[in-house]
Amino acid sequence: DADVTQTPRNRITKTGKRIMLECSQTKGHDRMYWYRQDPGLGLQLIYYSFDVKDINKGEISDGYSVSRQAQAKFSLSLESAIPNQTALYFCATSDGHRSDTQYFGPGTRLTVL
Amino acid sequence: QQQVKQSPQSLIVQKGGISIINCAYENTAFDYFPWYQQFPGKGPALLIAIRPDVSEKKEGRFTISFNKSAKQFSLHIMDSQPGDSATYFCAASGSLRAAGNKLTFGGGTRVLVKP
């Protein structure tokens, strides 16, 4: 969905490096989410935010941190990347009031060597 | 601990055939059950969703069947087409107000429709 953008789309980094993945949305949604996708495991929730001042841990938050800089921007950081954080990362947004639908960005493929 | 279990992991079906994907959940507080479709290189997109007050929902060639007592739901793709080749995820969440629509996803099913 072009209304949710993620940068970068692909990133290769080395163990121990700090990495930031960025998400922006033009849908005007309050709620934003970061998911990780691994083969056979579906999507697992890392962090979610209901507004700029409300940030919550998801199922697999260890090793990750987030920042909600504005309603439209939600960043995911890996403070010290490790190889098992190699995965596809998706940002999503939702209205949270009238609809349960989550709208996903195109994803970031992260490889940690 | 995977609260939503999805099967099969992959599925090959001939054009015009029926694709069936099954999901089972454990949390009885779940009351919203969407299916997401994901094409290669894209993010998942909502395909169809159901709430437990109905046992079936149909949108075009896609049907969700829901069995509350068995805590199972399934996606049927009728008259499967090559363009339906994608990965399908079932998911579940609690009420919008209580759970903030945090989705718990199944492991995904890769569907290949052969022409």
Rounded percentage of chain A residues whose pLDDT exceeds 70:
98
Position B2 scores a pLDDT of: 61
- Count of helices and strands (H, E) across chain A: 0, 11
Bridge partner list, A11: A110
Closest CA in chain B for residue A50:
B100
Q: Would you put residue A13 in left (φ > 0), alpha (ψ -120 to 50) or beta?
A: beta
| Rounded CA separation B90/B47 (Å) | 10
pLDDT in tens, A72-106: 999 999 999 999 999 999 999 998 776 778 999 99
Q: How far is B4 from chain A (nearest CA, A)?
A: 10
String of DSSP letters for B58-90: EETTEEEEEETTTTEEEEEESS--GGG-EEEEE
- Mean per-residue pLDDT over chain A, rounded: 93
- φ and ψ at residue A86, rounded to 5 degrees: -65, 120
Residues 54-93 of A with CB under 8 A from B: 58, 90, 92
Which residues are within 8 A (CB) of A69 and not within 5 positions of it... i.e. 6 or more apart? A75
Query: Are A42 and B102 an interchain contact pair (Cβ–Cβ within 8 Å)?
Result: no
Q: Does A38 touch chain B (CB under 8 A)?
A: no
- Look at residue A17 and tell me whether its pLDDT is greater than 70: yes
Closest CA in chain B for residue A51:
B100
| Rounded CA separation A29/A103 (Å) | 10
Residue by residue, pLDDT tens for chain B (115 residues) are: 568 999 999 999 999 999 999 999 998 888 899 999 999 999 999 999 999 889 999 999 999 999 999 999 999 999 999 999 999 999 998 765 555 568 899 999 999 999 9
Contact present, A64 and A77 (Cβ < 8 Å): yes
Contact present, A94 and A34 (Cβ < 8 Å): no
Q: Does A42 touch chain B (CB under 8 A)?
A: yes
Residue A75: C-alpha distances to residues A48, A49, A79, A112, B6 (Å): 11, 11, 12, 18, 30
Residue A16: C-alpha distances to residues A22, A89, A109 (Å): 19, 18, 18
pLDDT in tens, B64-97: 999 999 999 999 999 999 999 999 999 998 765 5
Closest CA in chain A for residue B104:
A44
